[in-house]
Amino acid sequence: MKVSFIIPLYNCLPLTQAMLASLQATLPAGLAHEIIFVDDGSTDGTRHWLGTLAAPCRSLLNERNLGFAGACNRGAAAAGGEFLFFLNNDLVLQPRWLEPMLAAFVGQADAGLVGNVQLNAATGAVDHAGIYFNHKGKPAHDTALPLPARWLGWPAVRAVDAVTGACFGLRAALWRQLGGFDEGYRNGGEDIDLCLRAHAAGGRTYVALRSVVRHHISASAGRKLRDEENTFRLVGRWRGRIAQLAALDWSREFIRTHWEFSCVYDDRLGRAAFYYALGLLPSPPAAVLAGTEAAIQFECDRWARLLQPATEQR
C-alpha cells in the first residue's frame, strides 16, 4: 500500500515548514508514501524552499492561481498512491493521526471519504468532528464529540454528512471515479460537494474519532471571500439531498424555538419534529421536510438578492 499526501500551498511558508516537520515525524515506520506539494503562486519564498526538498517530497508549480480545488486536482493527477490524503499546509499533525484513518477504510466496507477530529491550534477547542447541515440547510462544523469518544476512547468512527477538505483521505480509485473536486467552487464548498457525490456513488463519509490534528484555521488570506457564493452553488446542486440531511437540525431548532408555547406537540408538525428529533422515525416526515424546504428557500431568496449585483457585473 502506498499513500500520496497532497498539500496545496499559497504563501504561509513558516506554517508549511512546521506542517511538513510534523508530518514526517508522525508517519508510521515503513509506510510507502510520497508528499506532493502544489504551489499556487506563492510569493513569500515558498518556491525557493520547495527546491531544497528531497524525496519523498516533490513539487508542482502552478503558472497561475488555480484555487484550492484546482491545485488539489493537479496534485492528485500526479499521485501514484492507492490512497490519497489531502492536507492543508496549516495543520500540525499529532502522533498516530494517520493510523485510525487508514483503519476506517478497513473497518467500514462502505467508507468513501474519511476525515478526523481537528482542534483549533490556538485554543485547543474542537473545531471539527464532522460537518452537518443546519436548520437553514447550510453546512456547519460539528464541534461536539460523542461522550464515549471523549471519555472512554471509543467508538472508532462516526458517520457524518461531510468532512472538511483540510484533512481527509479516500481511495484513489474513488477519486478518479468522481472526477476530483469541482473547480466551479472557489476555495469553499468543493469538499462537501465531493462528499455528497461520493455518497451518491455508494460511499459514506466517516470521521475517525481517534485521529486528532491541530489546525491554524483559515490561515490563508481571502479564504472566506466567496463563502456565500459557494454555498448558494452547493445548495442549488444538492437541494433535495440537503433538505433530507438538514431535517434533523430543523426539527431540533423547531423544538427549541417553540418550547415555551403550550401544546406545541399536539399539532401535526410539532409531533413530527419531536419524533424525528428523537430518532423514532426512519426518515423525515413530510411536514418536517416542508418546513426544511421553506427554510432553504428563504436562504436561496437571500442569496439571490445578495449575489445579484455580482452576477449582473459578469
215: three-class secondary structure by DSSP: strand
**Residue 73 and residue 6 in one domain:** yes
Same domain, yes or no, for 179 and 237? no
Task: Please say if the pLDDT value at position 308 is more than 60.
Answer: yes
Among 215, 242, 259, give the residue marking a domain's end: 215
Q: How far apart are alpha carbons 225 and 189 in whole angstroms?
A: 12
Q: Tell me the percentage of the chain whose pLDDT exceeds 90.
A: 85
**Based on the domain organization, do 15 and 62 belong to the same domain?**
yes
| Span 183-197, average pLDDT | 97
Let me know if residue 240 belongs to a domain: yes
Boundary (domain end) residue, out of 192, 215, 238? 215
Q: Point out the least confidently predicted range of 17-31, 92-106, 156-170, 206-220.
A: 206-220
pLDDT at 262: 52
Statement to judge: residues 118 and 196 lie in one domain: yes
DSSP track, 217-239: TT-STTTTTTHHHHHHHHHHHHH
Write down the residue that cell numbers 486536482 correspond to. 73
Residue that the C-alpha cell 471523549 belongs to? 150
> Could you report the per-residue pLDDT of 45-88, keeping only the tens digit for each?
999 999 999 999 999 999 999 999 999 999 999 999 999 999 99
Contact 226, 184 (CB under 8 A): no
Do 280 and 178 sit in the same domain of this protein? no
* pLDDT of amino acid 311: 47
In this prediction, residues 190-217 reach a mean pLDDT of 97
Q: For residues 261 and 292, state if they share a domain.
A: yes
Same domain, 148 and 290: no
- C-alpha angle 65-88-192 in degrees, rounded to nearest 5: 85
Structure confidence at residue 145 (pLDDT): 87
Do residue 169 and residue 199 come from a single domain? yes
On whether both 126 and 100 belong to a single domain, the answer is yes
Kind plus residue range of the DSSP H or E element containing 133: strand 131-133
Examine the domain organization and report whether 107 and 183 are in the same domain. Answer: yes
User: Does residue 221 lie within any of the structural domains?
Assistant: no
> What total number of domains does the chain contain?
2
Digit-coded pLDDT (tens) for 147-173 = 765 556 668 999 999 999 999 999 999
Q: What is the pLDDT of residues 99-137, one digit of tens each?
A: 999 999 999 999 999 999 999 999 999 999 999 999 999
Same-domain check for residues 52 and 189: yes
Largest Cα–Cα separation, the chain: 70
In this structure, the answer to whether residues 84 and 150 fall within a common structural domain is: yes
Residue 207 covered by a domain: yes
Query: Residue 191 sits in a domain of what CATH number?
Result: 3.90.550.10
Q: Could you tell me the residue range of the domain that residue 72 belongs to?
A: 2-215
The three-point CA angle 123-170-52 to 5° equals 70
The pLDDT value recorded for residue 257 is 87
- Average pLDDT over all residues of the chain: 92
Asked whether the predicted pLDDT for residue 218 surpasses 80, the reply is no
What is the dihedral sign for C-alpha 141, 4, 21, 188? negative
Range picked from 218-222, 269-273, 291-295 for highest mean pLDDT? 291-295
288: which 3 cell numbers?
418536517
The pLDDT of residue 313 is 46
Query: What whole-number distance in Å separates Cα of residue 26 and Cα of residue 313?
Result: 48
Q: What are phi and psi of 273, to 5 degrees?
A: -65, -40
Read off the DSSP letter of residue 200.
H
Local confidence band at 314 (pLDDT 50, 70, 90 cut-offs): very low
Helix (H, G, I), strand (E, B) or coil at 188: coil
**CB of 94 within 8 A of CB of 26?**
yes
Q: Where a domain ends, among 166, 192, 215? A: 215
